[in-house]
Protein backbone atom coordinates (compact mmCIF):
# COMPACT_ATOMS: atom_id res chain seq x y z
CA UNK A 1 0.00 0.00 0.00
CA UNK A 2 1.20 3.56 -0.70
CA UNK A 3 2.63 5.28 2.32
CA UNK A 4 1.24 8.64 3.44
CA UNK A 5 3.38 11.65 4.30
CA UNK A 6 1.90 14.55 6.27
CA UNK A 7 3.44 17.90 5.27
CA UNK A 8 3.00 20.69 7.82
CA UNK A 9 4.32 24.09 6.67
CA UNK A 10 2.74 27.53 6.50
CA UNK A 11 4.43 28.29 3.16
CA UNK A 12 2.18 27.05 0.31
CA UNK A 13 5.10 27.12 -2.16
CA UNK A 14 7.12 24.72 0.00
CA UNK A 15 4.11 22.44 0.43
CA UNK A 16 3.57 22.40 -3.33
CA UNK A 17 7.22 21.52 -4.00
CA UNK A 18 7.15 18.68 -1.49
CA UNK A 19 3.81 17.30 -2.64
CA UNK A 20 5.14 17.12 -6.20
CA UNK A 21 8.49 15.59 -5.23
CA UNK A 22 7.00 13.01 -2.86
CA UNK A 23 4.30 12.05 -5.39
CA UNK A 24 7.03 11.34 -7.97
CA UNK A 25 8.55 8.96 -5.40
CA UNK A 26 5.23 7.09 -5.16
CA UNK A 27 4.14 8.54 -1.81
CA UNK A 28 0.71 9.88 -0.93
CA UNK A 29 0.60 13.25 0.82
CA UNK A 30 -1.62 15.29 3.12
CA UNK A 31 -0.79 18.97 3.61
CA UNK A 32 -1.65 21.43 6.39
CA UNK A 33 -0.56 24.98 7.12
CA UNK A 34 -0.32 25.24 10.92
CA UNK A 35 0.54 23.25 14.01
CA UNK A 36 -2.97 22.64 15.30
CA UNK A 37 -4.02 21.32 11.89
CA UNK A 38 -0.95 19.07 11.91
CA UNK A 39 -2.01 17.41 15.16
CA UNK A 40 -5.55 16.92 13.89
CA UNK A 41 -4.34 15.49 10.57
CA UNK A 42 -1.92 13.12 12.34
CA UNK A 43 -4.82 11.69 14.33
CA UNK A 44 -7.16 11.49 11.34
CA UNK A 45 -4.85 10.21 8.60
CA UNK A 46 -2.31 8.20 10.67
CA UNK A 47 0.59 9.15 8.38
CA UNK A 48 3.68 6.99 7.98
CA UNK A 49 5.92 10.07 8.42
CA UNK A 50 5.48 13.78 9.16
CA UNK A 51 7.49 16.55 7.52
CA UNK A 52 7.22 19.29 10.13
CA UNK A 53 8.22 22.94 9.85
CA UNK A 54 9.53 24.46 13.08
CA UNK A 55 8.09 27.97 12.61
CA UNK A 56 4.34 27.72 12.09
CA UNK A 57 1.34 29.74 13.28
CA UNK A 58 -1.10 28.56 15.98
CA UNK A 59 1.44 26.04 17.29
CA UNK A 60 5.12 25.71 16.42
CA UNK A 61 6.73 22.51 15.26
CA UNK A 62 8.54 21.94 18.56
CA UNK A 63 5.28 21.83 20.49
CA UNK A 64 3.67 19.65 17.81
CA UNK A 65 6.59 17.22 18.14
CA UNK A 66 6.30 17.25 21.94
CA UNK A 67 2.60 16.40 21.82
CA UNK A 68 3.02 13.73 19.16
CA UNK A 69 5.81 12.05 21.11
CA UNK A 70 3.60 11.81 24.19
CA UNK A 71 1.41 9.31 22.34
CA UNK A 72 3.04 8.23 19.09
CA UNK A 73 6.32 7.08 17.53
CA UNK A 74 5.46 8.34 14.04
CA UNK A 75 8.72 9.36 12.30
CA UNK A 76 9.27 13.13 12.14
CA UNK A 77 11.50 15.07 9.74
CA UNK A 78 11.97 18.71 10.73
CA UNK A 79 12.27 21.61 8.31
CA UNK A 80 14.19 24.49 9.85
CA UNK A 81 15.73 27.83 8.94
CA UNK A 82 19.46 28.37 9.26
CA UNK A 83 19.02 30.38 12.47
CA UNK A 84 16.93 27.68 14.18
CA UNK A 85 19.84 25.63 15.52
CA UNK A 86 18.64 25.64 19.14
CA UNK A 87 15.12 24.61 18.14
CA UNK A 88 16.57 21.99 15.81
CA UNK A 89 18.59 20.43 18.61
CA UNK A 90 15.58 20.56 20.93
CA UNK A 91 13.50 18.82 18.30
CA UNK A 92 15.99 15.98 18.01
CA UNK A 93 16.09 15.67 21.80
CA UNK A 94 12.29 15.40 21.80
CA UNK A 95 12.50 12.45 19.43
CA UNK A 96 12.52 13.82 15.87
CA UNK A 97 14.27 11.47 13.45
CA UNK A 98 16.08 13.95 11.20
CA UNK A 99 16.04 17.53 9.94
CA UNK A 100 16.63 19.47 6.74
CA UNK A 101 17.72 23.11 6.71
CA UNK A 102 15.99 25.67 4.46
CA UNK A 103 16.55 26.40 1.66
CA UNK A 104 16.63 22.76 0.68
CA UNK A 105 16.50 20.56 -2.39
CA UNK A 106 13.21 18.64 -2.68
CA UNK A 107 15.32 15.69 -3.82
CA UNK A 108 17.21 15.79 -0.50
CA UNK A 109 13.95 15.79 1.46
CA UNK A 110 12.67 12.80 -0.52
CA UNK A 111 15.96 10.95 0.03
CA UNK A 112 15.80 11.53 3.80
CA UNK A 113 12.13 10.56 3.94
CA UNK A 114 12.82 7.33 2.09
CA UNK A 115 15.82 6.55 4.34
CA UNK A 116 13.71 6.99 7.48
CA UNK A 117 10.91 4.84 6.07
CA UNK A 118 13.40 2.09 5.20
CA UNK A 119 14.86 2.15 8.71
CA UNK A 120 11.43 1.93 10.28
CA UNK A 121 10.37 -0.91 7.98
CA UNK A 122 13.55 -2.90 8.60
CA UNK A 123 13.52 -2.49 12.38
CA UNK A 124 10.09 -3.38 13.76
CA UNK A 125 9.79 -3.66 17.53
CA UNK A 126 11.02 -7.05 18.67
CA UNK A 127 8.46 -8.94 20.73
CA UNK A 128 9.23 -12.62 20.32
CA UNK A 129 11.99 -12.77 22.89
CA UNK A 130 10.00 -11.04 25.64
CA UNK A 131 6.65 -12.74 25.70
CA UNK A 132 4.64 -12.80 28.90
CA UNK A 133 4.65 -10.43 31.84
CA UNK A 134 7.45 -8.72 33.72
CA UNK A 135 7.02 -7.45 37.29
CA UNK A 136 9.34 -5.44 39.49
CA UNK A 137 7.98 -3.78 42.61
CA UNK A 138 4.92 -1.77 41.66
CA UNK A 139 5.77 -1.94 37.94
CA UNK A 140 4.09 -4.49 35.68
CA UNK A 141 4.70 -4.90 31.95
CA UNK A 142 2.53 -7.02 29.69
CA UNK A 143 4.95 -7.63 26.82
CA UNK A 144 2.38 -9.35 24.62
CA UNK A 145 -0.26 -6.65 25.09
CA UNK A 146 2.26 -3.77 25.13
CA UNK A 147 0.69 -2.49 28.36
CA UNK A 148 2.40 -0.93 31.38
CA UNK A 149 0.91 -0.35 34.80
CA UNK A 150 1.96 0.99 38.20
CA UNK A 151 0.20 -0.46 41.25
CA UNK A 152 -2.57 -1.57 38.93
CA UNK A 153 -2.98 1.82 37.27
CA UNK A 154 -2.38 1.77 33.48
CA UNK A 155 0.36 4.02 32.11
CA UNK A 156 0.06 5.09 28.48
CA UNK A 157 3.45 4.65 26.75
CA UNK A 158 4.62 4.96 23.18
CA UNK A 159 6.16 1.91 21.52
CA UNK A 160 9.68 3.28 22.05
CA UNK A 161 9.05 4.15 25.71
CA UNK A 162 7.62 0.70 26.38
CA UNK A 163 10.55 -0.95 24.59
CA UNK A 164 13.10 0.98 26.66
CA UNK A 165 11.34 0.11 29.91
CA UNK A 166 11.02 -3.54 28.89
CA UNK A 167 14.74 -3.64 28.04
CA UNK A 168 15.64 -2.37 31.51
CA UNK A 169 13.14 -4.68 33.20
CA UNK A 170 14.52 -7.83 31.60
CA UNK A 171 17.72 -7.40 33.69
CA UNK A 172 16.84 -5.11 36.61
CA UNK A 173 20.34 -5.07 38.11
CA UNK A 174 22.14 -4.32 34.83
CA UNK A 175 23.16 -0.77 33.84
CA UNK A 176 22.46 -0.29 30.14
CA UNK A 177 24.50 2.22 28.16
CA UNK A 178 22.67 4.42 25.69
CA UNK A 179 24.34 2.61 22.80
CA UNK A 180 23.11 -0.75 24.09
CA UNK A 181 19.59 0.61 24.49
CA UNK A 182 19.66 1.89 20.90
CA UNK A 183 20.89 -1.51 19.70
CA UNK A 184 18.11 -3.28 21.61
CA UNK A 185 15.49 -0.97 20.08
CA UNK A 186 16.65 -0.78 16.48
CA UNK A 187 19.67 -2.98 15.90
CA UNK A 188 23.36 -2.00 15.59
CA UNK A 189 24.18 1.07 13.54
CA UNK A 190 20.83 2.84 13.85
CA UNK A 191 21.49 6.57 13.49
CA UNK A 192 19.90 8.25 16.48
CA UNK A 193 21.65 10.25 19.17
CA UNK A 194 22.21 9.64 22.87
CA UNK A 195 20.11 12.73 23.50
CA UNK A 196 17.12 11.05 21.89
CA UNK A 197 17.36 8.21 24.43
CA UNK A 198 17.67 10.80 27.22
CA UNK A 199 14.52 12.47 25.94
CA UNK A 200 12.57 9.22 26.01
CA UNK A 201 13.82 8.52 29.54
CA UNK A 202 12.63 11.98 30.67
CA UNK A 203 9.22 11.33 29.12
CA UNK A 204 9.00 7.96 30.87
CA UNK A 205 9.90 9.44 34.23
CA UNK A 206 7.37 12.21 33.76
CA UNK A 207 4.52 9.82 33.01
CA UNK A 208 5.24 7.65 36.04
CA UNK A 209 5.86 10.67 38.29
CA UNK A 210 2.28 11.75 37.70
CA UNK A 211 1.30 8.54 39.52
CA UNK A 212 3.71 9.25 42.35
CA UNK A 213 6.36 6.90 40.98
CA UNK A 214 9.74 8.63 41.21
CA UNK A 215 12.06 5.62 41.31
CA UNK A 216 11.29 3.87 38.03
CA UNK A 217 14.63 4.49 36.29
CA UNK A 218 18.04 5.19 37.82
CA UNK A 219 20.75 7.20 36.10
CA UNK A 220 24.33 6.03 36.51
CA UNK A 221 26.45 9.05 35.61
CA UNK A 222 28.79 8.40 32.73
CA UNK A 223 27.40 4.90 32.16
CA UNK A 224 23.70 4.83 31.40
CA UNK A 225 20.42 3.69 32.94
CA UNK A 226 18.97 0.81 34.88
CA UNK A 227 15.61 -0.06 36.37
CA UNK A 228 14.98 1.55 39.74
CA UNK A 229 13.46 0.08 42.88
CA UNK A 230 9.96 0.73 41.51
CA UNK A 231 8.49 1.16 44.97
CA UNK A 232 9.93 -2.11 46.22
CA UNK A 233 12.12 -0.43 48.81
Q: Where are the domains of the chain?
A: 4-122, 128-227
Report the predicted TM-score, pTM, of the whole model to 2 decimal places: 0.59
pLDDT digits (tens, 9 = 90+) for 48-76: 999 999 989 889 998 999 888 877 778 89
Question: Once rounded to an integer, what is the mean pLDDT over residues 160-168?
Answer: 89
Q: In what helix (H) or strand (E) does residue 49 lie, and over which residues does it extend?
A: strand 49-53
Q: Pinpoint the alpha helices (H) of 25-174.
A: 35-45, 61-69, 85-94, 106-122, 159-170
Same CATH fold assignment for domains 4-122 and 128-227: no
More confident residue, 71 or 103: 103
pLDDT digits (tens, 9 = 90+) for 120-160: 775 444 333 344 688 888 999 988 788 999 999 999 988 88
What is the fold, at CATH topology level, of the domain defined by 4-122?
Rossmann fold (3.40.50)
pLDDT for 194: 65
The mean pLDDT of the chain is 84
More confident residue, 223 or 210: 210
pLDDT for 128: 34
**Cβ-contact 172, 136 below 8 angstroms:** yes
pLDDT for 126: 38
pLDDT for 187: 52
Determine what percent of the chain is predicted with pLDDT higher than 90: 42
Which residues does 232 contact at the CB level (< 8 Å), separation at least 6?
136, 137, 138
Report strand pairing: 76-80 vs 98-101.
parallel
The CATH number of domain 128-227 is 1.10.10.10:
yes
Amino acid sequence: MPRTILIADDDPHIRQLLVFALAKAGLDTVEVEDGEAALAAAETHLPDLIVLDINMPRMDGIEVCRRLRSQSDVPILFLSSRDDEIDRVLGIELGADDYVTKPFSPREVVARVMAILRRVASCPPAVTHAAGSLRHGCLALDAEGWQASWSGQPVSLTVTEFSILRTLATMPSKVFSRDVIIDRLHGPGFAITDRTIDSHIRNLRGKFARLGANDVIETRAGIGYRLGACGAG
